[in-house]
A = this chain, B = another copy of it.
Amino acid sequence: MIETRLDAVKLDGAGPVYDQIRRAIRDLVVSGEWPPGTGVPPEHALMEQLGASRMTVHRALVQLAREGLIVRRRRSGTIVASPPASHAMLDILSIPEEVEQLGQVYAYDVLSRSDGRPAPEVVERFGLKRSDKVAHLVVLHRADGMPHVLEERVIHAATVPGLAEEDFAETPPGDWLLKHSLWSQAEHAISAIGAGAEEADLLSIAIGEPCLLVERRTWNQSKPVTAVRLLYPGSRHRFVGRFGPYGQV
């Protein structure tokens, strides 16, 4: 277990104490200062350092645990949780996992890679500066040998250390990024478009066939990390979700 520096937890005096504690720890977690596996100080230590009662500290930690940011176990203590790989319907972050959950065999090919300045059309689509250095990848994911998704991805070199040395021979870029970069904010959009000539060819479908397009952009502390465009043949894919009226499952 990774140790923490206790004095990193600082209150800001705004609002209820339990919420100050909650936010202080949450910020350390989402900023990456306390990466997954880091040990959160025990209630006693926090209580002394912050001058709050144990119940107040407890309340903050219980809430963070319910939110999934930390994991608590008696006697062994509290650690920062690993972010869940996939969550609700559209938080599908790992394509290999998605395919394997369908009981199919996963494989992928990196069709192209280029490092350097982004092409003008890429700059616009992903909201970059022309001077930013990026890696531009095209990857075809297969399920049981059949084309499953076509992925086009731009990775912002400055925010992802080790990018140049990685050749994505063993792990597709999406999964690799999950392990080698942090993200604090993501946005995605779903729409339907017809496949273009090149896309249709790669996915083995007809030109103009309806496809589901998922576009996702990811930031870490407002710096862009990666942008991806996933094209799913419409006939072969459905995104399914369940929910209740108050948001619960």
B-contacting residues of A (Cβ < 8 Å)?
Answer: 30, 67-69, 81, 83-84, 87-91, 183-194, 208-212, 232, 234-235, 237-248
Contact = CB atoms under 8 A, between A and B. Distances in A.
B234 A193 contact: yes
Nearest to A186: B243
A191 B241 CA distance: 12
Contacts of A242: 185-187
Contacts of A186: 242-245
A124 to B, nearest CB: 16
B239 A189 contact: yes
A53 to B, nearest CB: 13
Contacts of A210: 192-194, 208, 210-211, 234
Contacts of A30: 244-246
Nearest to A218: B245
Contact of A212 (B83, B190, B240, B246): B190
A112 to B, nearest CB: 25
A91 B91 CA distance: 15
10 contacts: A30-B244, A83-B246, A87-B247, A88-B88, A89-B90, A186-B245, A190-B190, A191-B212, A194-B234, A212-B212
